[in-house]
Chain A
Amino acid sequence: LAKTTQPISMDSYEGQEVNITCSHNNIATNDYITWYQQFPSQGPRFIIQGYKTKVTNEVASLFIPADRKSSTLSLPRVSLSDTAVYYCLVGDNYGGSQGNLIFGKGTKLSVKP
């Protein structure tokens, strides 16, 4: 079971780039790294997923070093609507007591004007 550690909160201003780092020292060979965004009273929304190196999509980039013991979610030019909680999840096929999908506390990002 890969435990993840993220900063509890981060503050930013509109237009800035935000980098949120997640530590997962016990990541297994088969584990992927997935990031989700959650707004109040909504289910988490998939942002990006990666296994190694760098992954980029239309909303974010994910940087994963060679040892895969951490990952960094990069949000370019954030806006007020990016204020949310961001979760890093690490795992493969299994849920709960069998393996992954245990949520940490997440990082509460506050974007200010």
Chain B
Amino acid sequence: GAVVSQHPSWVICKSGTSVKIECRSLDFQATTMFWYRQFPKQSLMLMATSNEGSKATYEQGVEKDKFLINHASLTLSTLTVTSAHPEDSSFYICSARDAARSGNTIYFGEGSWLTVV
């Protein structure tokens, strides 16, 4: 199946700093990527939809100035958590849509653990 890679797998940062997470589709072009957040023992919560070459669409309650999304190419989307605080600590997951496949199948990255200290 298609491969989506996230980097880093885990990161620890100090409160007040910013951290960037990358999401790459390795063997297909993804005009649309998605960013999720997941707390322990809970389901995935969609944060935003990232469209190549245009602004991301954020879900209600998600601060766009805090969670900056850039989708500059057909294979790369980045999520930057700005001025991170301990409450931003979470598991962040990206996914990418393979529009070349029937059903516009979505493939997920491995996830990135963010710990803000």
A45 to B106 CA separation, bound complex (whole angstroms): 10
A52 to B48 CA separation, bound complex (whole angstroms): 29
The contact of B49 among A36, A43, A96, by CB within 8 Å, is A96
Q: Smallest CB–CB gap between B44 and chain A, Å? A: 4
What is the interface residue range for chain A against chain B? 20 to 34
A34 to B49 CA separation, bound complex (whole angstroms): 19
Contacts of A32 in B (CB 8 A): 102-105
Residue contact A46 to B46, C-beta cutoff 8 Å: no
Contacts of A46 in B (CB 8 A): 1, 105-108
Residue contact B43 to A103, C-beta cutoff 8 Å: yes
A44 to B6 CA separation, bound complex (whole angstroms): 13
Residue contact A42 to B110, C-beta cutoff 8 Å: yes
Contacts of B59 in A (CB 8 A): 96-97
Mask for A60-80, Cβ within 8 A of B = 1, else 0?
000000000000000000000
Give B residues with C-beta under 8 Å from A.
1, 4, 6, 32, 34, 36, 43-46, 48-49, 57, 59-60, 91, 93-95, 97, 102-111, 113
